[in-house]
Chains A and B, each alone.
Chain A
Amino acid sequence: MSRNDHMQHTAPGERIWDPTNECMPRQELEMLQLFRLKQTVRRVWENVPCYQAKFRELGLVPEDIRTLADLARLPFTTKEDLRLNYPYGMFAVPLREVVRIHSSSGTTGKPTVVGYSRQDLDNWSELAARFMTAAGVTEDDIVHIAFGYGLFTGAFGLHYGAERIGASVIPMSSGNTDKQLMIMQDYRSSALVCTPSYALTMAERMDKLGIDRSQLSLRVGLFGAEPWSEEMRREIENRLGVIATDNYGLSEVMGPGVAGECQQRCGMHIFEDHFLPEIIDPDSGEVLPPGSVGELVLTSLTKEAFPVIRYRTRDITSLDYAPCACGRTLARMRKTMGRSDDMLIIKGVNVFPTQIEEVLFQVEGCEPHYQLVIDRVGNVDTLEVQVEVRESIFFDEMKKQRAFVEMLEKRLLSTLGVGAKVKLVEPTTITRHEGKAKRVLDKRRL
């Protein structure tokens, strides 16, 4: 089912997967949004006890939603809501209708679980095809996916998008850089999908092995799952010979395919016919006027299995509703500028300081006096957990002291899903501000 037959070419080099929906006049788009919002509100009201309780508390019924402005009357959904309803409490369809389950890291050991109906997977493929087309992928491309396949939504989302476009997909998964490079050369991969830091790790390995970028067939690169700077973009483009674009998504809302850059590269187009965006003041919860910087809140408009109403993404950004030269009428979100909570993204993995605190709490004699130091060495994120040494975890024998450090590192790896180096420090090392320790020191310049 190729859309290429009615694909429009607006700006030079710009291809649009679904011009009907991506270039819709705003008035028409708003009508569609309102219709779908009403459907979604009705769906959660009828099927999700958590939303029934939230609506009742506010004295709301679905009929109260008459205009898009009424969106602000609806309650927020937070990660905590998803955690409290673990694993299937937020699903709006019976499990019989769920054809896929994914999950993301949680704040307290338990991940959050999301489900997809057959229609959801179809929409996901369509939306991924949209941003991948905007990034320059065509049916002639060989798409090399170096995201980890698994519970993580990244690999599957782009996999479906590339297949929908009609490209040839190499489901490479992550790791084993030498093999990745061999396959990229031999199979002539033309589009690369991975985290931006892994793209640079590959570039470094190429230098070491003496592989020149001209020996690769790469043309475009789609990078995401972690924050990256414009300098990194330029470096990746130079070293791999690709046009690098950014895209945005989060598993709680769907996965990759919420928004993506076009060739103009002036923000990521949010697929507003499927996700209704708002920018709020993270402290007061007030909706901010267009153009303001604040927390992105998303309401799913078409999701069947796992709809979310006003999901607090915790990502700080701003929206630009001005028409884009590419021809799309969809609003553009800026690269995320930070978080309104304490979540850290380390090597593409979401890490909350509370997870580390819990690991420390579980170790006998270990007091949670710690500090996290995050840095980027070369292109790889590093996480160091500094733990203050008390008598109860201090041994006169080096063997025991080292075994203690190794035990902590092992537990942190299994809880966080990302390696951490444990450094023991003297009790007075970690700076305290008015009695409260500063827990996180992020030295990365993103």
Chain B
Amino acid sequence: MKVEQISIFIENKSGRLAEVTRVLGEAGVNIRALSLADTSDFGILRLIVNKTDEAKAVLKSKGFTVNKTDVVAVEVPDRPLGLNSILEILDQGKVNVEYMYAFVERCGENAVIIFRFDNTDEAIQVLTQGGITILKGERIYNM
């Protein structure tokens, strides 16, 4: 039920983001979704890719600091209040969202949102009980 995400430390200086995408591209890694959190000094780039372990290895070999984290891919109805319905369920289940970002591709009629929770397993349980569809990793990597 979980999706693997890699996060990369990026110093705030020109060309570093391009270096990441170049290294990944040359290794034949395709980026499925991304989010960038930044301060004036540094950024944290989070990626979902089709080949997680290869991506991590190749970035590390180029001197980048890379970590792997579990996130959850949730199907969101593509209509007003679609995302809200999911956040209400999480709120009632007392699950905290650390961060979230949208997936580029749609899944049929629905949008896909990537969530990072403080307690991943509990969040999955709450969402499943609320009748929300969670997408499997294999599906996401190859969308």
Interface residues of A (CB under 8 A from B): 389-391, 394-399, 401-402, 423-429
Contact = CB atoms under 8 A, between A and B. Distances in A.
A382 to B, nearest CB: 14
A408 to B, nearest CB: 13
Nearest to B60: A391
Contacts of B64: 426-427
A391 B65 CA distance: 6
A429 to B, nearest CB: 7
**Size class of B's contact patch?**
20 to 34
Contacts of A401: 42, 44
A354 B39 CA distance: 29
Contact of A396 (B41, B42, B69): B69
14 contacts: A391-B66, A396-B5, A396-B7, A396-B46, A396-B67, A397-B99, A397-B116, A399-B98, A401-B44, A402-B39, A424-B9, A424-B11, A426-B64, A429-B11
Contact of A394 (B11, B65, B99): B65
Contacts of B10: 426
A376 to B, nearest CB: 20
B96 to A, nearest CB: 11
A154 B10 CA distance: 44
Contacts of A399: 98
Nearest to B98: A397
A314 B13 CA distance: 38
Max chain B C-beta neighbours (<10 A), residue from A396, A425, A427: A396
Given A425-B11, A426-B11, 6 more contacts: A395-B7, A396-B46, A396-B116, A402-B39, A424-B9, A426-B16
A19 B108 CA distance: 97
Contacts of B16: 426
B18 interface: no
B37 A391 contact: no
Contacts of A397: 44, 98-99, 116
Contacts of B39: 398, 402
